[in-house]
Structure 1
Amino acid sequence: MAVPIIGAEAVAEGLLTRAQLRHRYAPVFRGVYLPKGHSPTLFERIAAARLAVPRAVIAGPAASAVHGAKWVDDDIRIDLIGRCRPQPGLRGREETLCADESMTVRGIPVTTPARTAFDLARRLPRADAIERLDALMNASPFSIEDAMLLTKVHPRARGLVRAREALPFVDGGAESPKESWLRMLFIDAGLPVPTTQFVVYRADGVYIRRIDMVWEDYKIGAEYDGEQHLTSREQYARDVWTRGELQKLGWYVIHVIKEHRGPDVVAEGRAALLARGWDGRP
């Protein structure tokens, strides 16, 4: 891991000359440098942000990554709760942060999972928020009730309507942004809320499949198939066997790939549910 430095301090202490700083290092944030030509990871940028704004608390998507959430890009903007001069890749927010809304994880001051969820839910568009919230819940489970309570603790915070609309739909069972998208595609279309990560066993106890989401009462499931299903021969062979076993057990599974249109996926789901006795009510 590359260690960021405060350029002025390195020069003042005689560790580098100004010429060496200019030729060997590149600024990450104002006054903070990493070796030139190095592509910093998110955690290296977080370390740099802490040097740039020492008393700030990491928040937003970067905070979710500190808590273990996946799908956070290395170059994402880092949100801080604290005063910070505007600059690319770093945003300071002068907001109220109660004592029980921050913690230290791996030496990094960061908003708690519940406060992180509250911030994500109110700042991001609903679809983006739910993807981030699902990833956070999957990595570091939090109480949705605790996150919702913060809408009352901070009644003047921006985006409370967004937060109240997104938080009830969080499901840590989603293991990718596309799984979050697929689940919400069904829910927003008025289909029943599916159960995520449902495990199917054969009568003799043999494990068959963990399905991304199911309507258990109707023995209908849905899966988002990523590229590995097309590029791995071993995975393909496993899928063929699994589909045969699921059919024997009476399961109907909708397989979705990136080329599928949302309305077509919903239509297949609705038709399958109606055919198996769903009364059409969410």
Structure 2
Amino acid sequence: MGPFMGSEAVSAGVVTRYQLSTRYEKVYRNVYVPRGYRMTSADKAFAAWLWAARRATLAGLSAAALHGSKWIDAHLPAELNQPHRHKTNGILLHSDALTDDEICVVGGLPATTPARTAYDIGRRRGLKTAVIRLDALMQATDLKPVDIELMADRHRGARGLLQLREAVSLADAGSESPQETLTRLILTDAGLRPKRTQINVFDNDGEFVGRIDMGWDDWLVGVEYDGAQHWEDPDVRAKDIDKQAEYEALGWRIVRVSSDMVRRRPHVIVERTRAALRAAGAPV
């Protein structure tokens, strides 16, 4: 059972007032979840909508979560667009004037459209965070950069548009994790923006070998971000070793990236990628 309104559950006889106070915990006023329930960002969005008596529009990160964006911290506040509402802890309220084509229904809940959501979250301070969030939203929906640019044109003069436009120019729907986004940004900052993301590789017989996170398929140079599972899971590690050998047999040069390199040694990523491209004959 996810979030529900306590008064409605009691009236319907689903729970008693005693059970409500002992077996459930309050998320917001009159909104409860079972004790120990682990709330996702989408759960928190639904709970906030219930708190608003089902009259608000989900916005910002809550709308992004509803659209399927991953990597949203469930500890961040839920976001609603609803003017003239009393504030409450754990909910960020907006009072923007939304046009009809900036609102849609997702899973029965009103939310800002992907384009409007991108416009909102992409203007918030922090370019890297904005790109990560745009990548995730574009990965989850059919949102295109031009859709966000049109929304920005509609709201000329709004705060944060310069960052939004830069974030859109850096965004890529092929990113499958924040670390992949950060890796791509490190390379882009060094003038080595990958030509493609999620590159499918096939052997000489047309059999699928694997998918490379990002790279230059014209030069057969790829960059792979290895998350914790690639180092800690023996089965995954064994498959990685075999796949690396297959890539190399097909002429690929693969630069492998770790979280430590992203956090502390970005120059190593740049140096190794540039060296691989030079070895392949690329004009860098």
Asked whether the two chains share a fold, i.e. TM above 0.5, the reply is: yes
- The residue that corresponds to 2:235 in the other structure is 234
Query: Which of 73-82 and 107-116 deviates more?
Result: 73-82
Please state how far the C-alpha of 1:194 moved relative to its aligned partner.
2.7
- The residue that corresponds to 1:72 in the other structure is 72
Tell me the alpha carbon deviations over residues 242-282 of structure 1, each in whole angstroms, 9 at most, x when there is no partner: 222221222110001112211111111122223333333xx
Which amino acid in structure 2 is aligned with residue 225 of structure 1? D
Please state how far the C-alpha of 1:109 moved relative to its aligned partner.
0.6
Partners of 1:29 and 1:156 lie apart in 2 by 35
C-alpha contact 1:4 1:33 (8 A) present in aligned 2: yes
Please state how far the C-alpha of 1:213 moved relative to its aligned partner.
0.5
- The residue that corresponds to 1:46 in the other structure is 45
In structure 2, do the counterparts of structure 1 residues 115 and 211 end up closer, same or farther at CA, with 3 Å as the change threshold? same
Please state how far the C-alpha of 1:19 moved relative to its aligned partner.
6.7
**C-alpha root-mean-square deviation of aligned residues, in Å?**
2.4
TM-score (norm 2): 0.88
Which amino acid in structure 2 is aligned with residue 248 of structure 1? A
C-alpha contact 2:184 2:193 (8 A) present in aligned 1: no
Q: How does 1:204-243 map to 2 (within 5 A)?
A: 204-243=205-244
1:265 counterpart = 2:236:
no
In structure 2, do the counterparts of structure 1 residues 13 and 254 end up closer, same or farther at CA, with 3 Å as the change threshold? closer
In structure 2, do the counterparts of structure 1 residues 258 and 17 end up closer, same or farther at CA, with 3 Å as the change threshold? closer
In structure 2, do the counterparts of structure 1 residues 52 and 169 end up closer, same or farther at CA, with 3 Å as the change threshold? same
Tell me the alpha carbon deviations over residues 86-138 of structure 1, each in whole angstroms, 9 at most, x when there is no partner: 32221111112111011001111111111111111112411111111111111
DSSP-derived class of the 1:217 partner = coil
C-alpha contact 1:148 1:164 (8 A) present in aligned 2: yes
Q: How does 1:1-282 map to 2 (within 5 A)?
A: 1-7=1-7, 22-53=21-52, 54-83=54-83, 84-260=85-261, 261-280=265-284
DSSP-derived class of the 1:109 partner = strand
- What are structure 1's unaligned runs of at least 5 residues? none
C-alpha contact 2:131 2:170 (8 A) present in aligned 1: yes
In structure 2, do the counterparts of structure 1 residues 230 and 37 end up closer, same or farther at CA, with 3 Å as the change threshold? closer
Partners of 1:157 and 1:178 lie apart in 2 by 30
Percent identity, aligned pairs only, is 40
Tell me the alpha carbon deviations over residues 159-191 of structure 1, each in whole angstroms, 9 at most, x when there is no partner: 111111101222111111111111111011111
Partners of 1:268 and 1:11 lie apart in 2 by 62
Partners of 1:116 and 1:198 lie apart in 2 by 28
TM-score (norm 1): 0.89
Please state how far the C-alpha of 1:227 moved relative to its aligned partner.
1.8
Tell me the alpha carbon deviations over residues 65-98 of structure 1, each in whole angstroms, 9 at most, x when there is no partner: 2111211233321111112333222111111211
Partners of 2:202 and 2:271 lie apart in 1 by 28
Query: Which of 40-49 and 103-112 deviates more?
Result: 40-49
Which amino acid in structure 2 is aligned with residue 246 of structure 1? Y
In structure 2, do the counterparts of structure 1 residues 30 and 244 end up closer, same or farther at CA, with 3 Å as the change threshold? same
In structure 2, do the counterparts of structure 1 residues 184 and 86 end up closer, same or farther at CA, with 3 Å as the change threshold? same
Partners of 1:238 and 1:36 lie apart in 2 by 40
Tell me the alpha carbon deviations over residues 39-86 of structure 1, each in whole angstroms, 9 at most, x when there is no partner: 433333222211222321111122112111211233321111112333
In structure 2, do the counterparts of structure 1 residues 30 and 206 end up closer, same or farther at CA, with 3 Å as the change threshold? same
User: Alignment length, in residue pairs?
Assistant: 279
Please state how far the C-alpha of 1:25 moved relative to its aligned partner.
4.3
In structure 2, do the counterparts of structure 1 residues 277 and 14 end up closer, same or farther at CA, with 3 Å as the change threshold? closer
Partners of 2:35 and 2:250 lie apart in 1 by 59
Which amino acid in structure 2 is aligned with residue 242 of structure 1? K
Which amino acid in structure 2 is aligned with residue 94 of structure 1? S
Partners of 2:50 and 2:95 lie apart in 1 by 18
Please state how far the C-alpha of 1:20 moved relative to its aligned partner.
6.3
Partners of 2:142 and 2:268 lie apart in 1 by 33
DSSP-derived class of the 2:251 partner = coil
Tell me the alpha carbon deviations over residues 124-154 of structure 1, each in whole angstroms, 9 at most, x when there is no partner: 4111111111111111121211211111212
C-alpha contact 2:61 2:72 (8 A) present in aligned 1: yes
DSSP-derived class of the 2:123 partner = helix
